[in-house]
């Protein structure tokens, strides 16, 4: 049995502790910058089971469109993002989130070929400025 290696530009993202609307907002920002393994019509929705919902997506950061941040995105809560991938790929993902949200680092573990980080996102307030 062989294990398929993902490209170094791939980041596995798990998004939780949030509503489907907040998940849609966060994933929309990331899908605007990177290629995802999900179809555009595959929008986050609640499972209806009463249990916490976690949304997972694989992003390929090699095609990072960069550019300027999009419009201000308002969140109703404070979603958590767990990301796992190569150092450069996770850095690109973090930069994409930093461009739109206030990002709080909850923890990072770095190996020689992979980084795992946990972040909490907040909406930017009106008086904050975006990094250039």
pLDDT at 128 (0 to 100): 47
Strand partners, 36: 59
pLDDT at 70 (0 to 100): 64
Q: Which domain holds residue 115?
A: 10-122
Averaged pLDDT score across all residues of the chain = 83
3-state secondary structure 63-96: HCCCCCCCCCCCCCCCCEEEEEECHHHHHHHHHH
Report d(CA 68, CA 78) in Å as an integer.
23
17 near 77, Cβ under 8 Å?
yes
Q: Would you say the pTM of this structure is higher than 0.85?
A: no
Report d(CA 35, CA 58) in Å as an integer.
8
Q: pLDDT band for position 68 (50/70/90)?
A: low
Percent of the chain with pLDDT over 70: 73
In a domain, 129, yes or no: no
Domain count, the chain: 1
| pLDDT(17) > 70 | yes
In a domain, 2, yes or no: no
């Amino acid at each position: 049995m062989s294990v398929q290696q993902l490209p170094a530009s791939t980041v596995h993202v798990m998004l939780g502790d949030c509503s489907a609307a907040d998940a849609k907002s966060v994933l929309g920002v990331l899908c605007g910058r990177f290629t995802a393994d999900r179809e555009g019509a595959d929008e986050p929705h609640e499972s209806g089971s009463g249990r916490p919902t976690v949304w997972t997506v694989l992003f390929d950061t090699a095609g990072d469109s960069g550019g300027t941040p999009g419009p201000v995105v308002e969140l109703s809560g404070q979603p958590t993002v767990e990301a796992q991938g190569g150092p450069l790929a996770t850095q690109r993902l973090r930069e994409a989130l930093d461009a739109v949200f206030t990002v709080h680092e909850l923890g990072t573990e770095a190996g020689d070929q992979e980084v795992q980080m946990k972040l909490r996102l907040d909406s930017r307030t009106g008086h904050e400025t975006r990094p250039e």
